[in-house]
Structure formats: C-alpha cells, structure tokens
Amino acid sequence: MPIIKRWALPIFLFSILSHGGVVQASEKLNLAENWFLQSSEKIQSNGKTLSSGTTPLEGWHPTKVPTTVLAALIENGVYPDPYYSDNLTKIPGYKEDRWLAMPEDSPFRHPWWFRTEFEVPKDYSGKHLTLHFDGINYKGNIWLNGELVANQEEVIGMFQRFEFDVTDLCKIGEPNFLAVEIIGPGQMPEGEFQTKQIEATTGWDDHNPQPPDLNMGIWEDVYLVASGSIRLRHPYVTSDL
C-alpha cells in the first residue's frame, strides 16, 4: 500500500480532532417510552394533526417500541396469547394453511399509527439533531411537530436504517410530538404470484404459522442524537490480502 494512502485516514482524523471544540461527543435520547397505537380505521386525523399535540388519545393503546402492532395489541389484552393452545387461530387476519396472506377482513390491511411525546433536553440547544429509526416494517410516513419528515416512498424496507435531520423541527425544552404511520408489507395475491417482497420480511417460514400482522410495526429502536457541527459515524476498515 502506498505510504500516502496508509496515513491518509490518521492524518485526516488528527486534523479534525486538533480543532478543539469543533468535535463534540454525541448524546443519545432513547424514544422507547410513552408511545400510543391506533388503527387508521378508527381515527379521522392525519399526520399533521396527530403530530401537533391536539389530538386526544382516549381509546389508543399504550405501548413501547420496539414492537409489532400485534404484539402491542396482545400486551393490551385485545387479543389472547398466540403461543397458548390454538389462540393464534382466533386472532383476526389469521388464515390457516395460507402463508403471506392477509384476508380482506384483517385489521392489519390498513395502516396503523404510532404516536409519542418527548422533551428535548435544554443542553441540546445549538446542537445538530438527528432522528433515527433502526427498523420499520414495511413502509412509514413520519411526522414531527406538524411537519412531514419523510414519506413512504423514502421510508421503505424492513432492514433499512433511517436517519433524518430534525434540527429545525425540534423544540428545545418543550413537548415534541412524533407520529409514525406504518404500512404493512402487504399480501400475496390469490393464485399464482411471482413476487418475493413479503418473503424478505423477518420471520417468514412456510413451515410455521405466520403472524396475522406480518410483523408490521416499529421493530427496532427509535432515538434522537445530538452532536456538534462535525460528526464521525459508520466507520469501516478494509485490508489488502
């Protein structure tokens, strides 16, 4: 390896770190608590309204993330424990001997809303704020304080990780309202099909009963990161053999 290439990264890092005060340690605010869940069929509000803090949450299901929609509903006692006896067959949307299917009467064919409220610490003032979603199944529309952060054309794919600059949207030392509309992975058409999209979602196995919601939900962490004007992330090392 040429000497200049070997020393390029260390020199670059030293030049950044030598500017004291520019690089600051990142701080992380985990947004796991204080979530509420509801089907889009049961509410009339849109993302702008839901993320403005004016929508009452009576009748919504309290939950934490990560979770799938079905797991949250089971936790709230809406449906029985699917691991006991034949309870799984009693959950709406279950279809025996049919995989990757979602019947028309399934409550999971429609989008579901996750909504939370959080406060940004005052010492985050003046810092760069990034909102992270480490796993959404399968599509999402993300709203923060009445503004659309990203739509389902951008937030798509179960194993994608997403991060968004929300510096100008967050309110320091005040309540912030985050609403996420989750659209499930869909369903296979009856008869012949040539798609592998749903098979790529987690937990798929044609020898096991599938969850009726096809694991739709926020299945990985959600968090806010505060950093300085320069932030180093996603480092990797390559080698020549």
What are the domain boundaries of the chain?
21-227
Answer whether 126's CB lies under 8 Å from 213's CB: no
- The predicted-structure confidence for 105-145, as pLDDT tens digits, reads as follows 899 999 999 999 999 999 999 999 999 999 999 999 999 99
Average pLDDT rounded to a whole number, residues 12-16: 57
Among 13-22, 90-99, 124-133, name the one with the lowest average pLDDT: 13-22
What confidence tier does 94 reach under pLDDT thresholds 50, 70, 90? Answer: confident
- Using alpha carbons, select from 175, 177, 194, 195 the residue that is nearest to residue 185: 195
What confidence tier does 208 reach under pLDDT thresholds 50, 70, 90? Answer: confident
What is residue 26's predicted lDDT score, i.e. its pLDDT?
79
What confidence tier does 16 reach under pLDDT thresholds 50, 70, 90? Answer: low
- The predicted-structure confidence for 194-205, as pLDDT tens digits, reads as follows 455 555 555 555
Among 56-60, 145-149, 183-187, 192-196, name the one with the lowest average pLDDT: 192-196
What confidence tier does 241 reach under pLDDT thresholds 50, 70, 90? Answer: confident
Average pLDDT rounded to a whole number, residues 13-35: 72
What rounded mean pLDDT belongs to the chain?
A: 85
Cα–Cα distances in Å, from 207 out to 12, 90, 100, 122, 203? Answer: 52, 19, 12, 51, 11
Alpha carbon distance 185, 101 (integer Å): 10
Does the structural domain 21-227 have CATH classification 2.60.120.260? Answer: yes
pLDDT of 15 above 70? no
Tokens describing residue 136: 């959404």
The gap from C-alpha 189 to its chain's centroid, in whole angstroms, comes to: 26
The gap from C-alpha 222 to its chain's centroid, in whole angstroms, comes to: 6
What is residue 201's predicted lDDT score, i.e. its pLDDT?
54
What confidence tier does 104 reach under pLDDT thresholds 50, 70, 90? Answer: confident
What is residue 10's predicted lDDT score, i.e. its pLDDT?
61
Give the count of beta carbons closer than 10 Å to the beta carbon of residue 188.
16
Answer whether 162's CB lies under 8 Å from 114's CB: no
- Predicted TM-score (pTM) of this structure: 0.83
Q: 69-94 burial string, b = 16+ CB within 10 Å, else e?
A: bbbbbbeeeebeebeeeeebeebebb
